[in-house]
Chain A
């Protein structure tokens, strides 16, 4: 009898202790997470004309060994992107509305080296080219854009990233090689109150891009949304914004950009008036799918709003239009 009790006890506890909720497909380490490669990106667009869902698919992922100035390229990735038509909320900056393919090359560190968009037809015309360059410490030092790509033509912009002694971005100098002119990003402000050191605002070409503060003691005007762009060069300008949006993202999983137009009566201090809103345009930028490769990727995505978020002339609209990119994995 006691032998049976002991045996059953042993079997019972052996069963209990062998139980696990971890599955083979679970990501169980940071290395696995960092090395995770999505197989497709779902692009959901919710606009005043309805909701549509498109899918961009990875068609080829190859291990390579190519020596370049910045080190060794170890991976290349090809993707097929669906046609973003003329009425699409998300557009391509180069103006292409038909289906395209993308090519991304990655350094051994996992950071991107180049990102191409080219036509998916037989001639594979190069449409857009973005180059990511690094300093001797491996920090991103330049982003060079050729949009639209012109064969043997100059870059449309060449950005030099400047870091402070704490390793945080303190400025960017943008050169326009075609015209020989420059423009500076300035007044970088980081959130220090909660130790997040997240970029809160910067100024570019007389426009103030900011995350308005919330809560007690906050002097930012609430126009709705979590990002504003407004005229002015002083930090945290409260001028009437030319654009309001909600930007939200979670590492490796999703990115959503909402063109926020339902500002209601906020512009008249709650007095019941209405304000003109903005039907903005979102342009695809490679940082939307590559930002997690950088330690300060979300700050970079914020900074490059200047290229991917184009607020438009005020129009009477209260519709909040949204683009969500969700990353799918084959685990």
Chain B
């Protein structure tokens, strides 16, 4: 299953590379490295139910630029810290370390290359894995998620952009069993900041 998904994404990207190669007038690739903060809120009504789960991730991505407005690519984010709060039956909360990994592919639609500022919309689809590190055992689960982000980047040089702020949401198709929630849909909010570097030169 994972192999098929990988193959499909690989083929999409290869097609993008061929398309970009034919353009020749635009930077062909870009790579991005960002810090991502994610948050999923829960009601925490009942014992064991999560109140929130938040992680801070290293987030990387690479895109093939179809034209100056559209780029397709893939992303990968992995937490370097995270925490979740769960309700105890005495109304207090207990906190656990949370790990998160997200990966998938996305399409970035941006405004024209401008002197300074460039706005963009990213539509993404992928998979989110989260793990609760308990005292005795780890509970992990994964789900697919569809989302979009709105961002603005500032040009720093011919190749380098600063992603000043990118805000978005991901709608998770399933909940994770260890969140102990009755909610059927969960929404992950995220904010990112970082750098995007164009690889390849305008010819």
Contacts and interface: CB of A to CB of B under 8 A. Distances in A.
Contacts of B90: 211, 226-227, 246-248
Interface in B111-137: 129, 131, 134-137
A21 B101 contact: yes
Interface in A163-210: 194-198
B47 A298 contact: yes
Contact of A20 (B9, B129, B136, B177): B129
A52 interface: no
B139 interface: yes
Interface string B3-27: 1011001100110010001000000
A18 B103 CA distance: 10
| SS class, residues of chain B in contact with chain A | mixed
B135 A27 contact: no
Given A5-B17, A13-B10, A21 B94 contact: no
Contacts of B108: none
A9 B2 contact: no
Contacts of A326: 135-136
Nearest to B48: A251
Chain A CB within 10 A, most for which of B13, B48, B136: B136
Q: Range of interface residues on chain A?
A: 35 or more
B73 to A, nearest CB: 9
A19 B103 contact: yes
Contact of B45 (A194, A226, A327): A194
B76 interface: yes
Nearest to B76: A16
Interface string A31-74: 00100101000000000000000000000000000000000000
Contacts of A33: 139, 177-178
26 contacts: A2-B17, A9-B14, A10-B10, A10-B14, A12-B62, A13-B9, A17-B2, A17-B5, A17-B6, A17-B74, A18-B6, A19-B76, A21-B100, A22-B131, A25-B137, A27-B140, A197-B46, A198-B89, A226-B91, A247-B90, A248-B92, A248-B94, A249-B89, A250-B86, A251-B48, A329-B137
Interface of A: 2, 5-6, 9-10, 12-14, 16-23, 25-30, 33, 36, 38, 194-198, 211, 214, 226-227, 246-254, 298, 326-329, 331
Interface of B: 2-3, 5-6, 9-10, 13-14, 17, 21, 43, 45-48, 62, 74, 76, 78, 86-92, 94, 99-101, 103, 129, 131, 134-142, 177-178
Closest 4 A-B residue pairs measured CB to CB?
A: A26-B140, A226-B90, A17-B6, A298-B89
